[in-house]
Amino acid sequence: MNVIEINNLTKTYGKSRGIIDVSFNVEEGEVFGFIGPNGAGKSTTIRTLLSLIYPTAGSAKIFGADCIKNAPEIAKEVGYLPSEVFYYDKMKVIDVLKYSASFYKKDCSKRIEDLAEIMDLDLKKRVDDLSFGNKKKVGIVQALLHEPRLIILDEPTSGLDPLMQQKFFDLLEEENKKGATIFMSSHVLSEVQRMCTRVAIIKEGRIIKLETMSNLTENNYKKFKLEINSGIDKNHFQINGVSNLELKGNIISFLYKGNVNTILKRITEIDLKNVWIEEPSLEEIFMHYYEKEA
Amino acid sequence: MNIFLHELKSCFKSIIIWACSMAALAVMYILIFKGLGNDIAEFQSLMDSLPEVVKKLLSVYVASLSTLEGFYSFVFVYVALCGAIQAMNLGVSIISKEVREKTADFLLTKPVSRAAIMTSKIAAAFVSLVITNIIYLAVTLLATLTVKTDFSVKSVILISITLLFIQLIFMALGVIVAVLAGKVRSVIAVSLSTVFGFFIVNMFGSIIGEETVRYITPFKYFDYGYIVKNNAYEMPYIIVGAAFVIAAVTASYLVYTRKDVHAV
């Protein structure tokens, strides 16, 4: 079952681009990553899903219901963590969380306590006394306190120290095991790589790639690094499937996607000192997507 | 209901402060009236001797300042001015709060429709104004009890209640301004300038004596001289005021439910 269905979603702000013709689905139980640089349209897509902004064309469905028309109904089962969190400054943390909980028709007090303990959050402080990271923790508790079926995270780890990131991801993994679907946007690729089963890559408002994480990192690409004995023409590796080609001194490196026999034949034609063949990090693949048309 | 209570709670302090300040203003004038005692006739003749323009500027509509209701109506203009500022402030701040404090992402992703949010907020603002008026009216009436001379309680009450009408109009104005404005940087700047704008139009309108000006500024919807004389309101202006409130609130709903809420 698809938890999120996005069909040809377009949002323009006057003449400036927001997102263009975005379509993809997120299945139930998935951890779905949404990656792209700043200004690519990640937040625009997420804000449309949450009916904070209205699409210019196309539509999106959550739990099979239109995300604009049925927004209040859908919101009952959605937890959202914005990239920058703001709460009513003069309220205490516990009051903000209680206010948040009062929108859902269930008792969340136990859950608030549990989450606050895991995230090491002081409930008695006033919001304006909190640091950025601690506000983020309030956001996390606020997003999870009603045990939503869909968790939407926009740049979730900004402001959290590594220990808290770890705890947060453990928390998300637990929710995911219990059946929650997670949709997260990020430009921190390592966290996407770690958490997600599938990713969509967005660039300049368009989805340019939709792939499972394993395909993206394992099957398709190999990272080659060769140390050569004698000088070489860079063009030797200018063949189909090669990207990010770089020549530094007598080290040549590139990413390769395609039949490994072809590339190995090429490699054997030259005099090698050393060779490394690795799985590329998502970062490298990602940069490759962006640089291709730049 | 939770939004309503939340909003009411967050503006409770300001309700008390405004209501008490306005009541204090009224009480002060009532005590002055009392203090003047028999000298009130002289005060009346002093006011009568003022040039016509100054009289109009000071909104001395009433032939008789020597009665409590007459004197009260003369000073009430300034209470109404304060009340208008409070109401407009409330209307602007309650609606623009989510944008100013950047809490829109929090509130608008909760399982509640935007129309319901709007309803709760307007209801909270309305109740705030009603509470303000109850406090104001109670304190003012209590103060009039100390005055020994005869006066029309009904007139005093009728005049006092115009505060609520004027406040509702300015609240509705504040709401629509906040909905239409992308981001309100300073609530008090917006409300002060608007209210004083109308107040100045009101003063010049008095000098010119132009009838059409009366429809432009809510301060002119209630002619206190008329109220004192007839113990009644002028219906056409009540209708214009009510129509404005309904139109502004309806428009606010329409815009608010269709508006894009952008990231901070």
The CATH number of residue A275's host domain is 3.30.70
Which residues of chain A have a CB within 8 Å of the CB of B183? none
- pLDDT at position B218 over 60: yes
C-alpha B255/C-alpha B258 separation (Å) is: 5
Residue A82 pLDDT: 92
Of A54, A71, A82, the CB nearest to B105: A82
Give yes or no for B6 touching A (CB within 8 A): yes
pTM for the predicted model, two decimal places = 0.84
Query: What confidence category does residue A11 fall into, taking pLDDT thresholds of 50, 70 and 90?
Result: very high
Q: What is the mean pLDDT of chain B?
A: 88
Average pLDDT rounded to a whole number, residues B208-220: 79
Interface contact B260-A54, CB threshold 8 A: yes
Residue B85 pLDDT: 95
Say if residue A224 is in the same domain as residue A253. Answer: yes
Strands A65-66 and A198-203: unpaired
Say if residue A64 is in the same domain as residue A206. Answer: yes
Average pLDDT rounded to a whole number, residues A117-121: 92
Domain tally, chain B:
1
Average pLDDT rounded to a whole number, residues B242-251: 96
Average pLDDT rounded to a whole number, residues B180-184: 83
Which residues of chain A have a CB within 8 Å of the CB of B262? 47, 52-53
Q: Has residue B21 been placed in a domain?
A: yes
Which residues of chain A have a CB within 8 Å of the CB of B261? 47, 52-53
- From A175, A198, A216, the end of a domain falls on A216
C-alpha A11/C-alpha B204 separation (Å) is: 49
Query: Which of A224-228, B213-217, B240-244 shows the lowest mean pLDDT across its residues?
Result: B213-217
Say if residue A66 is in the same domain as residue A124. Answer: yes
Give yes or no for B110 touching A (CB within 8 A): yes
Give yes or no for B9 touching A (CB within 8 A): no
- C-alpha distances (whole Å) from A77 to each of A47, A152, A171, B119, B229 are 16, 11, 17, 23, 62
Say if residue A146 is in the same domain as residue A172. Answer: yes
Residue A105 pLDDT: 87
Say if residue A260 is in the same domain as residue A166. Answer: no
- pLDDT at position B63 over 70: no
Average pLDDT rounded to a whole number, residues B191-216: 82
Say if residue A206 is in the same domain as residue A111. Answer: yes
- The residue range of the domain holding A265 is 220-291
What is the tens place of the pLDDT at every residue in A133-192? 999 999 999 999 999 999 999 988 888 888 888 999 999 999 999 999 999 998 777 778
What is the tens place of the pLDDT at every residue in B153-180? 888 899 999 999 999 999 999 999 999 9
Say if residue A180 is in the same domain as residue A265. Answer: no
Average pLDDT rounded to a whole number, residues B217-241: 86
What is the tens place of the pLDDT at every residue in B69-102? 888 888 888 899 999 999 999 999 999 998 888 8
Say if residue A55 is in the same domain as residue A193. Answer: yes
- Residue A207 sits in a domain whose CATH number is 3.40.50.300
Query: What confidence category does residue A294 fall into, taking pLDDT thresholds of 50, 70 and 90?
Result: very low
Say if residue A282 is in the same domain as residue A137. Answer: no
C-alpha B237/C-alpha B209 separation (Å) is: 16
| Sheet containing A16-27, strands listed edge to edge, beginning at the edge strand earlier in sequence | A16-27, A2-13, A57-62, A65-66
- From A216, A238, A265, the end of a domain falls on A216
Q: What is the mean pLDDT of chain A?
A: 88
Which residues of chain A have a CB within 8 Å of the CB of B6? 99
CB contact set of B69 (below 8 Å; sequence gap of 6+): B151, B152, B155, B156, B159, B228
Residue A292 pLDDT: 53
Q: Has residue B56 been placed in a domain?
A: yes
Average pLDDT rounded to a whole number, residues B95-121: 92
Residue B58 pLDDT: 66
Measuring CA to CA, which residue among B222, B176, B217, B195 is closest to residue B81? B195
Say if residue A202 is in the same domain as residue A261. Answer: no
Residue B248 pLDDT: 96
- The residue range of the domain holding B239 is 2-258
Q: Which one is predicted more confidently, A189 or B104?
A: B104
Q: Has residue B237 been placed in a domain?
A: yes
- C-alpha distances (whole Å) from A9 to each of A6, A164, B23, B108, B220 are 6, 34, 56, 21, 51
- pLDDT at position A282 over 70: no
Q: How many Cβ atoms from other residues are within 10 Å of residue B86's Cβ? A: 26
Residue A243 pLDDT: 80
What is the tens place of the pLDDT at every residue in A246-257? 888 888 888 888
Average pLDDT rounded to a whole number, residues A273-286: 77
- Which DSSP string corresponds to A46-81? HHHHTTSS--SEEEEEETTEETTTTHHHHHTTEEEE
Work out the angle at residue A53's Cα, subtended by the Cα atoms of residues A47 and A55, and round it to the nearest 5 degrees. 100
C-alpha A257/C-alpha A284 separation (Å) is: 13
What is the tens place of the pLDDT at every residue in B186-200? 888 999 999 999 988
Domain tally, chain A:
2
The shortest C-alpha distance from B195 to chain A (Å) reads 28
Residue B207 pLDDT: 74
Residue B74 pLDDT: 80
Q: Has residue B264 been placed in a domain?
A: no
- pLDDT at position B54 over 80: no
Give yes or no for B106 touching A (CB within 8 A): yes
What is the tens place of the pLDDT at every residue in B2-26? 999 999 999 999 999 999 999 999 9
- Give me A280's structure tokens: 């590329």
Locate the chain B residue with the closest alpha carbon to A74.
B111
Say if residue A191 is in the same domain as residue A257. Answer: no
Q: Has residue B263 been placed in a domain?
A: no
Residues on A contacting B at a C-beta cutoff of 8 Å: 43, 47, 50-54, 71-76, 78, 80, 82-90, 99-100, 102-104, 142
The shortest C-alpha distance from B97 to chain A (Å) reads 9
What kind and span of H or E run contains B188?
A: helix B187-208
What is the tens place of the pLDDT at every residue in A68-116? 999 999 999 999 999 889 999 889 999 999 999 999 988 889 999 999 9
The shortest C-alpha distance from A66 to chain B (Å) reads 14
Burial of A206 (0-12, 13-18, 19+ CB in 10 A): middle
Say if residue A41 is in the same domain as residue A117. Answer: yes
Of A52, A83, A86, the CB nearest to B109: A52
